[in-house]
Every structure is written in structure tokens, then in C-alpha cells.
Structure 1
Amino acid sequence: TQEAISFSQLKPEFEKAGAVVIGLSPDSAKKHDKFKSKYDLTIDLAADEERKVIEAYHLWVEKSMYGRKYMGVERATFLIGRDGRIARIWRKVRVKGHAEAVLEAVRAL
């Protein structure tokens, strides 16, 4: 939630740098709409209910919490350049300062 809020707050700066921010999760479009409304988000959210993109990017991984293993989405950010190639990847993202780091990388492209 905090990550989406941070990217929403910086959306004008991303736009000035020529970038589009898209959040992706296996949640439905309806859930995304509620989430956007609840937290006043301005970034685009894409639903990948069948996990095709998530699996293509190798983000459907085994996770562990309190000794219990389960499958889930690994938090990651992909910066895709104008040429359609992945310019940079952040895996196992820590939320604090992340949106700012991504914006800095966008400006450096």
C-alpha cells in the first residue's frame, strides 16, 4: 500500500521524465478499483488474474511466513526503456525510498 502511495505522489515527476508507472498484481480489476479509491491512488493498476505476466517475469515464487510455505508474488520493480528492453530490475523491494530510487533511475536513462 505504501509503495503504491509513494509512486502516486511522484506520478507528476515520472510523467515529466517521460515514464508511466503501472502496478501489477493477480488481484481482479474490481479489487484494484476499490484499492485505488480507498487510498486515492493515481497510478495505473493492471490485473493479471491468470498470472501470465507474473510468471513470465519469474515473480510467482515460494514464500515462507512463520514456517509455513506458500506460493505468492515477489515484490519487484522493472524499469523498461523506450526500446522495450528491461533497463533495470529491483527485486525484493524495500518500500522506503524505493519510488524515489526508481525515479532517479528513470531520469538517468
Structure 2
Amino acid sequence: IVVLGISKDGATSHGKFIAKYDLPFTLLTDPEPCAVATAYDSYGLKKFMGKEYMGMMRHTFVVDPEGRIEKAYTKVKAETMADEILADLGLS
């Protein structure tokens, strides 16, 4: 299993985030206009505290070895996502 994260933040920001949380996976950058996130329908209108803005949506995708999306998770909770995916894949 390969795990990758992606956001519009730059490499320096990613490096600090990885160090702070001791992440065991790679973070990729997708700078504005967020072409990768847009292609995966993961960039769009968000709402927070009554305000609307464009931003990255927290989505998770399981991609097979041929590059096809096997499963998409659009209601992601970081605390439980890994366990949910492992259970769905029969690996827990």
C-alpha cells in the first residue's frame, strides 16, 4: 500500500507538517489552480463559520495498481480514515 497526501501548500510547509506530526507518508504539492484536486473533484466551494470560499476538500481515494479509483471517501474524518480503509480492504 502506498499512501500519498496532497494539498496546495508548498514543499517547505509540507516538510514542517511532516516533521511536526511524524507522518510516515509523502505529501505532494498541488499549487493554485489546484489542477490535480480539481480533476478529482476535490477542490470547490467550502463553507466555514458562515463564509463561503474556494478550497481543497478532504477526500480520500483508493486507487488500484492500474490507476483506477476503486473507492472514494468524501466524508473524511482524519482520526478514523485509516481504520475505515483497512476494514474496507479486508486488511484489519
TM-score by length of structure 2 reads 0.88
Paired residues, what number? 90
The reply on whether 1:34 has 2:16 as its aligned counterpart is yes
2:25 matched residue in structure 1? 43
Matched position secondary structure for 2:2: coil
Q: Which has the higher helix share?
A: 1
Distance 1:65 1:25 in 2: 18
> Which one-letter code corresponds to 1:94 in the other structure?
K
Distance 2:15 2:79 in 1: 24
Q: Which runs of 5+ in 2 are unaligned?
A: none
2:5 matched residue in structure 1? 23
Contact 1:78–1:89 at 8 Å: present in 2 too? yes
Aligned CA RMSD, in angstroms, stands at: 1.4
Contact 1:63–1:71 at 8 Å: present in 2 too? yes
Sequence identity of aligned pairs in percent? 38
Distance 2:31 2:40 in 1: 15
Q: Which runs of 5+ in 1 are unaligned?
A: 1-18
Q: RCO higher in 1 or 2 (8 Å CA, sep ≥ 6)?
A: 1
2:43 matched residue in structure 1? 60
